[in-house]
Amino acid sequence: MTKREIIRELLAKQLPDRVGLNEHFWPHIIDNAWQAQGIQPGTDFSERFNLDLKSVSWFSAPAPRSDLVAVVEESEEWTVHRDGWGASFKTWKNKAGTPEHVGFMVTSPDIWKKDFREAFKAIRVRDHVDIEGMKARYRTAMAGESFVTYSSLFVFEELRKVIGDVTMLESLLLEPEWIHDFCSLVTDKYIAYFELLFREIGLPDGMHIYDDLGYTAAPFASPACHREMIHPYHKELFAMFKDYNLPVILHTCGDFRPHLECIIGSGVDCVQAMEAKTGMHVVTLAEQYRDKLCFMGNIDIRSLESGDRIRIKQECLAKLNGMKRLRAPYIYMSDHSIPPSVKLADYEYMLELFWGNCNY
């Protein structure tokens, strides 16, 4: 079977010849660690490590105020950028990590309506898409055997990015009309973007959507709040994908277990990445949901960081063999992304364990 056929069957909750294989890698991993271990800049990790999936696009809603874009502060170690929403983020120059939230301008419904809403509504997504470049990437990817996805953020990540975590969490409860207005307009932009791609680039094999719904201890929002404030927009976008017969992979960090029934109801076919440090265990989840979901991830990154081959083997084989024993659809990968703290040889050992034990 080709890689495309394997992933397609897994996302359909069927069992192909073997378990699937995927991975994500933190930015700067080559610069910070792996170049000295033999990986050269420009390496295509999908090809280098024989992964089954490949993304050919990335989208987040265009910001409406180019006049706000600036470098606010800079040092030898980091830069603070302000984007077209007036949101400022600190990023590090010489190490991997998520950007630090520094400050936000869109902190009330009045500011949203007065300074951003109409400008955002007027944006044409076509003006923010490199059609010809995407056509070339699409043709090359679709000519290969990999399962090809279009990838993007969505409403929960857009809320966090534009108004910040504190304002978002307060406003989900105190300003629901504002949140619904924001999410509705964002969803319109995403639908317009993907309809443009489907029409002028072509259909991928599936969709990979990123909405980080949780943190280490719990989801950010209660199940009732999620169902009322976020679920309708997931359901709307994913229903549009299903109109094109496209399976949906949802990436979400943190503990999202209380949202699983809602996630399934929105049309998601596969959940990823199931961070082990939040208490999630893929085999336990599969015992309940293997007929409803494919699972991707959950190999504890801390075992890889340890460099202890016995620990790595126990972690990888317990989950790989456990999913095979359940006859559950599974795509093997870490529980987030491979950071520079993982040695290349230890990641390659993780792959050796996979190829020696991947057949159903």
Instruction: Say which CATH number the domain at 192 has.
Output: 3.20.20.210
At 80 the pLDDT is 97
CB–CB of 121/192 below 8 Å? no
CA distances from 49 to 79, 94, 104, 219, 348 (A): 32, 24, 39, 33, 8
- Examine residue 116 and state whether it is found in any structural domain, yes or no: no
As a whole number of angstroms, the distance between CA 250 and CA 234 comes to 10
The residues, any chain, with a CB within 8 Å of residue 277's CB and separated by 6 or more, are 216, 300, 302, 335
Tell whether 42 is covered by a domain. Answer: yes
CA angle 89, 90, 95 (to 5 degrees): 135
Cα angle, residue 336 at apex, residues 253 and 100 outer, rounded to 5°: 65
> Is residue 89, in this structure, part of any structural domain at all?
no
Give the residues across from 206 on adjacent strands. 149
- Full domain range(s) for residue 127: 3-62+123-357
- What is residue 28's predicted lDDT score, i.e. its pLDDT? 81
Query: Which residues is 162 bridged to in the sheet?
Result: none
Chain CA centroid to CA 271, Å: 10
Domain count of the chain? 1
Q: What is the pLDDT along the chain (360 residues), one digit of tens a residue?
A: 999 999 999 999 999 999 999 999 988 888 779 999 999 999 999 999 999 999 999 999 999 999 999 999 999 999 999 999 999 999 988 877 789 999 999 999 999 999 999 999 999 999 999 999 999 999 999 999 999 999 999 999 999 999 999 999 999 999 999 999 999 999 999 999 999 999 999 999 999 999 999 999 999 999 999 999 999 999 999 999 999 999 999 999 999 999 999 999 999 999 999 999 999 999 999 999 999 999 999 999 999 999 999 999 999 999 999 999 999 999 999 998 999 999 999 999 999 999 999 999
Both structure tokens of 253: 């960090």
Distance CA 294, CA 14 (A): 9
Residue 27: predicted pLDDT: 81
Task: Please report the pLDDT score of residue 155 as a whole number.
Answer: 98
215, part of any domain: yes
Q: What is the dihedral of CA 143, 148, 153, 154, to 10 degrees?
A: 110
Q: Is residue 82 part of a domain?
A: no
Residues 6+ apart with CB under 8 A from 195: 240
Task: Report pLDDT for 98.
Answer: 82
Pairing of strands 53-59, 294-296: unpaired
Tokens of 37: 């271990």
Within-domain flag for 88: no
Distance from C-alpha of 39 to C-alpha of 31, rounded to nearest angstrom:
9
Give a yes or no: residue 314 inside a domain: yes
Beta strands 270-273 and 248-252, pairing class? parallel
What pLDDT does residue 95 have? 78
The pLDDT value recorded for residue 267 is: 98
Residue 97: per-residue pLDDT:
77
What type of residue is 308?
D
pLDDT at position 81: 97
Cα atoms in the Cβ-side hemisphere of radius 13 Å centred on 237: 31
Whether 67 is covered by a domain: the verdict is no
CB distance 65 to 85 below 8 Å: yes
